[in-house]
Chains A and B, each alone.
Chain A
Amino acid sequence: MNKSTVSTAQQNYLNRLRAHRFIVWFLRVAILAGFLLLWEYTAAKGIIDSFIFCCPSRIAKCFLEMTRDGSIFLHIGITLYETVVSFALVTLVGILAAVLLWCSRKCSEVLDPYLVVLNSLPKSALAPLLIVWLGANRTTIIVAGMSVAIFGSILSLYTSFTTVDEEKIKLIYTLRGGRFHALTKVVLPSSVPAIISNMKVNIGLCLVGVIIGEFLAARNGLGYLIIYSSQVFKMDWLLMSIVLLCIMAMGLYALIGGLEKIYLKKFS
């Protein structure tokens, strides 16, 4: 809209909206800054034990040191790699399995209780088993990452496939299409939003699984760094790894959020 045509009331509304947004962002940043300052101050004054609680400046220094010798990139890279691979596999296997279940109602009814049980099982319980079966290597970690997300992913994708409007599938049949056409022309395209929101959940879950795997079976990666540093009381390493994990999780989530935005822009 042209600026000169905006009425005073509209301008007031826009101003209020802008003020609201500013306050939200300001408070967000202020909470983080206040928290860090308080932490730094109390640690410096000896109010909290800086050996156990560490402090922001030491975490930052530790990060800078590790970037200088490059070791941190190895850890970040490995965790990122494992997460992305397990995420890609979960997405692929999840969609394929859901399609198979959709194709055969018998199959889906037979397998339903197994999927439900596997989905509600705490997956961290599987990690030691995976180590025995697959060895303490990267495969185990990737499978551990997958195991957390895969069953829930299959179940929710299958549910979204089956809730596609029956009448739209009937339309395909009236156009003399078969079940394959129903899948490719209706079920899959109409499930894209569900698939993307499923991916958003999965990326976080895969990261959880990968960290569990690294706790138990890794020589490097952020999960390994966390376990190792807690054992030798290098709290700056530990806290830095957690901060890095936060940033990584945020970044990966934002990436899929971006994908969703592109899709929505194209199709609405």
Chain B
Amino acid sequence: MESILEFNHINYAYHTLEGETKALSDITFSVANGEFVAIVGPSGCGKSTLLSLICGLHQPESGWIHLNGKPLNDNPTSIGYMLQHDHLFEWRTVYHNVLLGLEIQHKLSNETRQKARKLLDAYGLGAFADSRPSQLSGGMRQRAALVRTLVLDPDILLLDEPFSALDYQTRLTVGDDIGQILRNEKKTAILVTHDLSEAVSLADRIFVLTKRPATLKTCVPVTFDLAADTPMNRRNAPEFKHYFNLLWKELNHDE
């Protein structure tokens, strides 16, 4: 399969008055089209930085990133980015929150408006389209944030610990929900998480990063022999524990 994203010898450091903090060191990997990749690593190791680089919010100090075989500047590839918090705006209704990206990218039309409505309906938010975000539960808010991202029809989806702000039970259901949605839509997704079971239940491949400055330690391909490969089924499969322990060992090895 052709690769949609390529990282080539990427280095990145944060600069403050106190000095330089190396965040990423010589990271090289590629992600195939339609693949679901999870990135795990110790907290503060630069996982989120990686996503910011893909999105073009930061520039790498050296190395290059290609999306669909082209550099990031003026790249037509559409990137969706889900942040840790939903950041729904209280001064907009849920529906108008979902339209935010379309407004910014001047893509508002009857067609896209209809699509937004359809997605809201599909993800169980149809009845809440005209509500304020504060009237929604945490899980519903995160789903609304997902609709805001998906309505732009991204080619690649970046998930920056999008479930970590939810309570445990909601996290499981929403995580499974969203994982299922992305799998059905055949979206390429990169999930940054510190929750190993979340990574195992969702991903096709898992990248393990080391402590700062982060290097790519290993890459664990995840395959489950399941008739219906859903996150919930994965959690109950015997291989689950195996992958979990493998990742656990990898993460705690260098300490």
Residues in chain A within 8 A of chain B (CB atoms): 165, 167-168, 170-177, 181, 185-186, 189-190, 192, 267-268
Contact = CB atoms under 8 A, between A and B. Distances in A.
Given A167-B83, A185-B100, A173 B89 contact: no
Interface string B89-109: 111000000001101110000
Given A167-B83, A181-B104, A185-B100, A174 B55 contact: yes
Given A185-B103, A192-B91, A268-B90, A173 B57 contact: yes
A174 B89 contact: no
Contact of A175 (B89, B101, B132, B158): B101
Interface in B50-64: 55, 57
Query: Taking chain A's interface residues, is the majority helix, strand, or loop, or is none over half, making it mixed?
Result: helix
A175 B91 contact: no
A194 to B, nearest CB: 13
Given A170-B57, A268-B90, A177 B85 contact: no
Nearest to B103: A185
B152 interface: yes
Given A174-B55, A174-B81, A174-B83, A190 B89 contact: yes
B83 A171 contact: yes
B105 A176 contact: yes
B133 to A, nearest CB: 11
B87 interface: yes
A175 B87 contact: no
Query: Taking chain B's interface residues, is the majority helix, strand, or loop, or is none over half, making it mixed?
Result: loop
Interface of B: 55, 57, 79, 81, 83-85, 87, 89-91, 100-101, 103-105, 132, 134, 152, 158
A172 B90 contact: no
Of all A-B residue pairs in the complex, the 3 with the closest CB atoms, nearest first, are A174-B81, A177-B104, A175-B101
Given A168-B87, A192-B91, A268 B132 contact: yes
Contacts of A177: 104-105
B100 to A, nearest CB: 6
Contacts of B89: 168, 185-186, 189-190
A181 B104 CA distance: 7
A175 B105 contact: yes
Nearest to A193: B91
Given A185-B89, A189-B89, 6 more contacts: A167-B83, A167-B87, A172-B104, A173-B55, A190-B89, A190-B91
A177 B102 CA distance: 10
Contacts of A176: 101, 104-105
